[in-house]
């Protein structure tokens, strides 16, 4: 009797394990298995498109249009402006209140006297601005260095 009872319990346990195994296998198969590869493919395509855009921008020279900020070092004392260093600039322009060029200095160590109406110093990269030219309309890269020199 004990043997028959034990045998019956064993058969039921084995049947339960087989049913459980089939259910677990059923959960892992089918529609859920394809989700991870699809997400992987989408990520790879996105990375490829981004890399192509970055490489294309460099190859086509789209980043070359960005201008440099001109840099120079000047000192002012007793009504004189002296260029200590031009850095990457081609020169400096001294303007009046309306940003009209009064004079330019294009060499390190060069200096000029500030007139009463001259109040601003611009540093520029490009062609030398003409006397009287308005720095707001200058064709190169220019940046206001100092104002209120007087």
**CB–CB of 118/135 below 8 Å?**
no
Domain boundaries, given as residue ranges, for the chain: 35-66, 73-145
Of the chain, the end-to-end C-alpha distance in Å amounts to 117
pLDDT of 5: 46
DSSP code, position 97: T
| Cα 142 → chain centroid | 21
Q: Which residue has the higher pLDDT, 64 or 141?
A: 141
| pTM of the shown model | 0.51
Tens digits of residue pLDDT in 32-75: 556 678 888 899 999 999 999 988 887 887 655 556 677 788 88
Side-by-side strand order, sheet with 80-85 = 73-77, 80-85, 111-113
Long-range contacts of 37-43 (CB under 8 A, 24+ apart): none
Strand partners, 140: none
For 83-133, how does the pLDDT look when each residue is reduced to its tens digit (9 = 90+)? 888 888 888 888 887 888 888 888 888 877 777 666 788 888 888 888 888
Task: Quickly state the pLDDT bin for 8 (edges 50, 70, 90).
Answer: low
- Tell me the β-bridge partners of 143: 123
In a 3-state reduction of DSSP, which class is residue 124? strand
């Amino acid at each position: 009797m004990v043997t028959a009872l034990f045998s019956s319990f064993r058969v039921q346990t084995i049947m339960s394990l087989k049913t459980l195994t089939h259910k677990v296998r059923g959960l892992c198969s089918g529609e859920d298995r394809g989700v991870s590869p699809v997400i992987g493919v989408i990520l790879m395509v996105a990375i490829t498109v981004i890399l192509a855009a970055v490489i294309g921008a460099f190859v086509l020279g789209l980043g070359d249009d960005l201008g440099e900020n001109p840099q120079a070092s000047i000192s002012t004392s007793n009504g004189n402006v002296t260029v200590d260093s031009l850095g990457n600039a081609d020169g400096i322009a001294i303007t009046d209140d309306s940003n009209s060029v009064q004079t330019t200095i294009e060499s390190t160590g060069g200096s000029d006297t500030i007139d009463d109406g001259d109040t601003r110093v611009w540093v520029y990269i490009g062609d030398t601005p003409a006397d009287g030219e308005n720095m707001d309309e200058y064709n190169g890269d220019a940046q206001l260095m100092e104002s209120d020199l007087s």
